[in-house]
Amino acid sequence: MKTLNNKWALVTGSSRGIGRAIAKALAERGCNLVLHARSLENLAATVADIKAYNIQYHLVSGELDSPEGVAAVIDGVKAGPGYVDILFNNAAINNVSTPVFEFTQAEWMRTFQINLFSMVQLCAAFGPGMRERGFGRIINTTSGIAGQPDLAPYSASKAAVDKYTQDLAVEFKDCNVLVNHVDPGWIRTDLGGPNAWEDVDSVIPGMLVPALLDDNGPTGRFYAAQDFKGL
């Protein structure tokens, strides 16, 4: 098993669902963790998951629905390890199914703030340091959603995540900061809902593939976590 000993990873939205599964899988590989949730109390179950592993961990809280909330997360990281080697932009929200012309401007803006703009702010905070140290892995969670105008803000925000990932990969070309996006699939979580096709455990090991790439490996690439199911 490839390890990530002495690396620090920030996983946004790591109190439950896919983020919690990612955090546990990283801990199994020796990776130190910055765990994030809207409140520190929400991280109790994830902390219990990782305590069996010989790693360091640090807890940060902050709402991602405003630049100030994201800044609180960044300040929390700086008060702990001070940097991250691996940035998992996992946290996101979906929309309530709504006729496409009836979404309010506020809902469009909130969806893009949480799903895209918070990601941009975190990448700007931690990406330059990765370049200076000659190592970084930025993994942006995307979606294969298509043909659902009733979820248009979510769908459009994930399309923007894809384009931003590709642009950022070019920005970090040839400096061993690899930027990739990964689709976990339709997962039975609070976001995916009870009718989704796959259990949350199915996202591992696929979600970790971009974090485990060799130095100067693929960047700007799309991965589907379900392609690695059962490996």
Indicate if the pLDDT at residue 197 is higher than 60: no
The model's confidence at residue 230, banded by pLDDT at 50, 70 and 90, is: confident
Indicate if the pLDDT at residue 194 is higher than 80: no
Q: What is the model's pLDDT at position 30?
A: 97
Fold of 8-228: Rossmann fold (3.40.50)
Indicate if the pLDDT at residue 4 is higher than 60: yes
Residue 230 phi/psi, 5-degree rounding, is 85, 0
How many CA atoms lie less than 13 Å away from 136 in the CB half-sphere? 28
The pLDDT tens digits of the residues spanning 22-79 come to 999 999 999 999 999 999 999 999 999 999 999 999 999 999 999 999 999 999 999 9
The model's confidence at residue 229, banded by pLDDT at 50, 70 and 90, is: confident
Cα separation, 215 vs 91, in Å, equals 26
Active site residues: 154
As a whole-number percent, the residues of the chain with pLDDT over 70 amount to 94
The model's confidence at residue 117, banded by pLDDT at 50, 70 and 90, is: very high
The model's confidence at residue 190, banded by pLDDT at 50, 70 and 90, is: low
Q: What is the model's pLDDT at position 202?
A: 81
The residue written with tokens 């006729």 in the block is: 99
What DSSP state is assigned to residue 198?
B
The model's confidence at residue 191, banded by pLDDT at 50, 70 and 90, is: low
Instruction: Calculate the average pLDDT of the chain.
Output: 94
Cα separation, 125 vs 187, in Å, equals 30
3-state secondary structure of 213: coil
Domain assignments of the chain as residue spans, ordered by start: 8-228
Cα separation, 30 vs 16, in Å, equals 20
Task: Note the pTM of the prediction, 2 decimals.
Answer: 0.95
The pLDDT tens digits of the residues spanning 87-111 come to 999 999 999 999 999 999 999 999 9
Q: What is the model's pLDDT at position 187?
A: 65
Q: What is the model's pLDDT at position 222?
A: 97
